[in-house]
Amino acid sequence: MPDETPFPAQQQEPPGLTGAMSPEPDHGEQSYVGHGRLDGRRALVTGGDSGIGRAVAIAFAREGADVAIAYMPEEQEDAEATAHWVREAGRTVVLLPGDLRDERSARDIVGQAAEELGGLDVVVNNAGFQQARRESIDDLTTPELDRVLKTNLYALFWITHEALRHLKAGSAIINVSSIQAYEPSPALVDYAATKAAINNVTVNLAAQLGPRGIRVNAVAPGPIWTPLQPATQPSDHVEKFGADTPLGRAGQPAEVAPAFVFLASEGDASYVSGTVLGVTGGKPVF
Ligand code: NAD
Ligand code: MG
C-alpha cells in the first residue's frame, strides 16, 4: 500500500465536477482500445457525463457503439468532455440534460435517446446519488431520502419501463450496484439499501425479460475515484479512500468500464443474465 494518499483532502458540492478533482480520474482516454465488440449498438448511459459513466461511454464508442448520455444540467461541461471522446472515436453522441428524479424527464430522455440514435440496444442505469450522513437514522430527513431513492430506484424503474418500448431480443440492460449492497456503511444507510434493491431488481428483471431475449445484469463497483466521492463524503474520508480493499487502493473509472463492455456484448455475454459482476479491488460480492 502506498504510504502517501493519492487523494488530498477535498470537498465539492453535489453533483461534483471532474475539473475540480485532484487528481482527475482516468476514464481510459489514453488507454482503452476497442475491438468492435459493440459494432452498431445504440446505448443510453445515464450519468454518462463523468466518472464510471464517462469511462463506459468512451469504451462503448471505441467498441463501435453510438451513445446517448443523460446528466444534470449543471454538469454540462463534463457532458461536453464525454461527448468529445465519443465523437473522436467516430461515433454519434446525444446529450440529454435533465433531472431523472422527475418521471416525465426520465421517460422523455429515453424517448429522445431512441429517436436520435434510431433505436436502442443497451441501457446502462448508472446515474446515482449518495450522501454520507451522521451515523444515525434519527438525522435522515424525507427530502434527503427522496433524493437517494428517486435517483437510484425510481429513475431506474421509469427508464427501464420506457426503454422496453424500444429494446428487442439481443438487447442488454446493465444496472449499477455497489459494494455497499454487501458491506453497508452506517453513514450510507439509505444508499446501501437502494443498491441491495438494485441487485434484487436485476435478478427479477432477468427472469421477466429472458423470454424476450433481453439480458439484465449489474456491475457492483468498489471504491472508484469519481466526482461522487469528494461531493458526498467528508474530506478526510477521501484521503484514505480505497485503502481498506485487498488491493489496497481505489480503482479508476477506466478499470470498471470493461465489465460493462462484456455485459453489453452479445458476442461475449450472450448467456450471461441475472448476475452481479463485482469490480471491487478484492472485496467479496456475495
Ligand atoms: P459520478 O458523480 O461521476 O456519476 C453519477 C452521475 O449520476 C452524475 O454524473 C449525474 O449525472 C447522475 N445523476 C445523479 N443524480 C441525477 C439526477 N437527479 N438526474 C440526472 N442525473 C443524475 O459518480 P460515479 O461514482 O461514477 O457514479 C456512477 C454510479 O456508480 C452510481 O450509481 C454510483 O452509485 C455507483 N457507484 C460508485 C462507486 C464509487 O466509488 N464511485 C462505488 C459503487 C457504485
Ligand atoms: Mg457528473
Residue 151 beta carbon below 6 angstroms from any ligand 1 atom: yes
> What residues contact residue 189 under an 8 Å CB cut-off, 6+ apart?
133, 137, 140
Residue 55 beta carbon below 6 angstroms from any ligand 1 atom: no
Residue 48 beta carbon below 6 angstroms from any ligand 1 atom: no
**Which helix (H) or strand (E) covers residue 154, if one does?**
none
| Any domain includes 256 | yes
Mutate to test the pocket of ligand 1, among 7, 46, 49, 52 (most ligand atoms within 8 A of CB): 52
Question: For the domain that residue 249 is a member of, what is the CATH number?
Answer: 3.40.50.720
Each residue's pLDDT tens digit in the chain (286 positions)? 445 679 999 999 999 999 999 999 999 999 999 999 999 999 999 999 999 999 999 999 999 999 999 999 999 999 999 999 999 999 999 999 999 999 999 999 999 999 999 999 999 999 999 999 877 888 899 999 999 999 999 999 999 999 999 999 999 999 999 999 999 999 999 999 999 999 999 999 999 999 999 999 999 999 999 999 999 999 888 999 999 999 999 999 999 999 999 999 999 999 999 999 999 999 999 9
| Any domain includes 10 | no
Ligand 1 atom with the smallest distance to the CA of 228 is 2
| Any domain includes 28 | no
CA distances from 132 to 86, 213, 283 (A): 32, 39, 20
The ligand that comes nearest to the alpha carbon of residue 276 is: 1
User: What is the spatial distance between Cα 261 and Cα 62, in angstroms, rounded to a whole number?
Assistant: 10
14 Cα to the center of ligand 2, angstroms: 9
129 Cα to the center of ligand 1, angstroms: 6
pLDDT at 4: 64
Q: How many CB atoms lie within 10 A of CB 141?
A: 9
Torsion of CA 128, 68, 259, 47, to 10 degrees: -20
Domain count along the chain: 1
Residue 52 beta carbon below 6 angstroms from any ligand 1 atom: yes
Residue 129 beta carbon below 6 angstroms from any ligand 1 atom: yes
Residue 47 beta carbon below 6 angstroms from any ligand 1 atom: yes
Mutate to test the pocket of ligand 1, among 109, 129, 179 (most ligand atoms within 8 A of CB): 129
Domain with 70 in it: 35-279
Indicate if the alpha-carbon torsion angle 72, 78, 82, 83 is positive or negative: positive
Ligand 1 atom with the smallest distance to the CA of 125 is 32
- DSSP codes, 15-74: T--GGG-SSPP--STTT----STTTT-EEEEETTTSHHHHHHHHHHHHTT-EEEEEE-GG
Longest dimension (CA), the chain: 52
Torsion of CA 223, 228, 233, 238, to 10 degrees: 50
| Any domain includes 229 | yes
The ligand that comes nearest to the alpha carbon of residue 54 is: 1
Mutate to test the pocket of ligand 1, among 226, 233, 252 (most ligand atoms within 8 A of CB): 226
Tell me which residues are annotated as active site.
Answer: 191
237: three-class secondary structure by DSSP: helix
Rg (CA), the chain: 17
The ligand that comes nearest to the alpha carbon of residue 25 is: 1
| Any domain includes 85 | yes
> Which protein residue's CA is at the shortest distance from atom 10 of ligand 1?
47
| Any domain includes 26 | no
| Any domain includes 78 | yes
| Any domain includes 19 | no
pTM of the model: 0.98
User: What is the spatial distance between Cα 1 and Cα 3, in angstroms, rounded to a whole number?
Assistant: 6
Among 104, 194, 117, 115, smallest CA distance to 149 is for 194
